Amino acid sequence: MKTSQFSPVMPPEHTDRTCPAVGFQRATVCVPVTVRPFAHAGRTVTHCCGDPVVVAGEQPCAGTKNGVCHFTISQTICVEVPVEFGAVPVVGDPFVDCLGASEEDICTDCTRETDA
């Protein structure tokens, strides 16, 4: 007896059939962005100011042991933040303003003004 490779419940001519459907959703997507400034020091350059001083015997050093010196540099900056919008699984707390749904293609030419 020859056995069939197809299930007896579904005839072979129905095995590759699907019911395709497409839905379109217009939406405005918004996500908060934080700009956190940072500063990295570049390579330092040390300039020797005069000749070294050599003194015999123990001499106390002026200043603070293991001390540091402070000064401030300020710079106005402008940060370019490239952002690409798309649809991904939920990241953070997104907000959405739903603008309408349809079975018709409302996405093609969606940049033109609508009469809605």
Give 7-65 pLDDT, tens digit per residue.
Answer: 455 555 656 677 777 787 777 777 777 777 788 888 988 888 999 999 889 888 888 88
Top-confidence residue, 25 or 5:
25
The pTM of this model reads 0.36
User: Tokens representing 67?
Assistant: 């001390």
Place of tokens 């956190």: 36
CA–CA distance from 38 to each of 41, 76, 77, 81 (Å)? 10, 13, 11, 14
Residue located via tokens 């349809």: 102
| More confidently predicted of 92 and 107 | 107
pLDDT value of residue 51? 92
85 compared with 107, residue with greater pLDDT: 107
pLDDT at residue number 68: 84
- Distance (Å, whole) CA 27 – CA 58: 77
pLDDT of the residue at 6 = 47
- d(CA 32, CA 108) in angstroms, rounded, equals 27
